[in-house]
Amino acid sequence: MSASELYTALAGKISLSARQWWPDYGSFWVVIGAILGQNTKFENALKALNNLRNYGVDSLESLAGIPITKLAELIKPAGFYNTKAKRLNSLAKAICADFGDFESFKQNVSKQWLFSQKGLGSESVYSVLCFACERAYMVYDSYSARLLNELGYEFESYEEGREFLEGVLSETGAKDGTGEELSEALLCAHFHALTTEFCKAHLKGKVFDNEAKEFLKTLL
């Protein structure tokens, strides 16, 4: 089974928008969300994001200007709020210092620069590249790993699993659930969204339900 075959099967089962699945796709909010979403449910991260919006955050520059103690208070629903406040403050200031604004960051940031920032691991880095910077990078996470493990795949490293998923880039003419023809970047975003939603719907703890198992058998 190839990544393209898995993608095609999931796309035939789940209908969703590649562009709308991650709120504010292509914006600075994704950078913030990538940190807020660490080690918590995304619903909790959304509560923290809404608090920032209501406070008046409208750019990374305005985020960088919030005192860390106040920032920690605003993002409390996301958990680990003191640590995340420090990381957000540091990252926002670094982006402003090195790139000037988000649009310049979006166009010019490198993978190496992101990995050099404290608090950004592999999943966060590739989430920013894919969903904020709109680049053709796959995100490999625990859902991806469990899905591929169910299909008999085991990878020795994060990068090995991620590169396997990027085999989807051989797909041409793909469209999402809204009928939008997908660029390579949106194809990666769509594939990640599909794997996540499939796992959220069918994983019971760490085990797939019978419907998922029967579906996945068709890919073996």
Q: Are residues 89 and 153 both part of a single domain? A: no
Tens digits of per-residue pLDDT, 19-56? 999 989 999 999 999 999 999 998 999 999 999 999 99
Distance, CA of 76 to CA of 81 (rounded, Å): 5
Tell which of 132, 154, 185 closes a domain.
Answer: 132
Shared-domain flag, residues 65 and 80? yes
Residue-wise pLDDT tens digits, 167-220? 999 998 999 999 999 999 999 999 999 999 999 999 999 999 999 999 999 998
Instruction: Specify the number of domains making up the chain.
Output: 2
- Is the pLDDT assigned to residue 9 strictly greater than 90? yes
Same domain membership, residue 126 and residue 71: yes
Domain's final residue, options 132, 160, 191? 132
Predicted pLDDT at 147 = 97
What is the predicted pLDDT for the residue at 42? 87
Q: Which residues pair with 12 in a beta bridge?
A: none
Among 132, 165, 191, where does a domain finish?
Answer: 132
- Distance between CA atoms of residues 93 and 103, nearest Å: 15
- Verify that 156 and 64 share a domain, yes or no: no
pTM assigned to the model? 0.95
What is the domain-level CATH number for residue 62? Answer: 1.10.340.30
What residues make up the domain containing 113?
Answer: 28-132
**Cα four-point dihedral sign 90, 93, 98, 104:** positive
- Which pLDDT band holds residue 133 (cuts at 50, 70, 90)? very high
Alpha helices in the chain (DSSP H): 3-13, 28-36, 42-55, 60-64, 68-74, 81-99, 102-108, 111-115, 122-127, 142-150, 158-165, 184-202, 210-217
* Shared domain check, 102 and 151: no
